[in-house]
Amino acid sequence: MKFKSIIMSLAVATMLFTACNDGKKKEAEAKAEAEKMEMEAKKKAEEEAMMAKKEFEENTIASKAMNNQDLSTLVSALKQAGLAQTFMEEGEYTVFAPTNTAFEAVPKQALDNLMKDENKSQLQGVLKYHVVSGEWSGDSLMKAIKDNDNKYRVTTLQGENIILSLKDDKIMIKDAKGNTATVVSANVDASNGIVHVVDKVLMPKG
């Protein structure tokens, strides 16, 4: 009888030990699975973040300008002024981008002078005079102009104002020197703003 009791106790102990081992094994498997899922989720999030960053960089104002042959002079000026990087980064800008033809209309000596290293701050001022903070679509600009009796004054990043008006349903921009540019192509969407192509280089007072 005693022997039978010992056998029963051993059997119970063996069962308990096996059950305990099974429990630990399942717990380890569950932990490994959770860690695997966590790693996969992290990897997926990193891949999505990299794709989003790549998409953003490919669609910045600077990238859009670099991919437009008609804006190559503007791109050269931005690089010379050290501003190209600014328009590759996050932000909300509205840029009135002069075409190559617009730059050609600027007296050659004046343009060459602006592009010299010693005149970098002056070049920065001219380029910033073409930029407004915030994203302004063509429709938004038109509404603002109409709401302000066809004379909407906007402060640029350079600090001076430009005056926007409408003529034959086209947006016109008057600079500080009284010259007027026309928006020839509106609403070029970018990941950090919007670009409106203009046919003249705007000049500030300074």
Summarize pLDDT for 86-116 with one digit per residue, the tens.
Answer: 898 888 999 999 999 999 999 999 999 999 9
DSSP structural state of residue 92:
-
Helix (H) or strand (E) holding 97: strand 93-98
Q: What tokens were used for 39? A: 């790693």
The rounded distance, in Å, linking the Cα atoms of 48 and 201 is 40
pTM of the model: 0.76
The rounded distance, in Å, linking the Cα atoms of 181 and 175 is 8
Place of tokens 């102990």: 13
Mean pLDDT of all residues in 61-78: 94
CATH number of the domain located at residue range(s) 59-198 in this protein: 2.30.180.10
Centre a 10 Å sphere on the Cβ of residue 51 and count the other Cβ atoms it contains.
10
The rounded distance, in Å, linking the Cα atoms of 65 and 21 is 66
Strand partners, 164: 152, 173
- How far is Cα of residue 126 from the mean position of the Cα atoms in its chain? 22
Domain segments of the chain: what residues? 59-198
For 120-160, the pLDDT digits (tens) are: 999 999 999 999 999 999 999 999 999 999 999 999 999 99
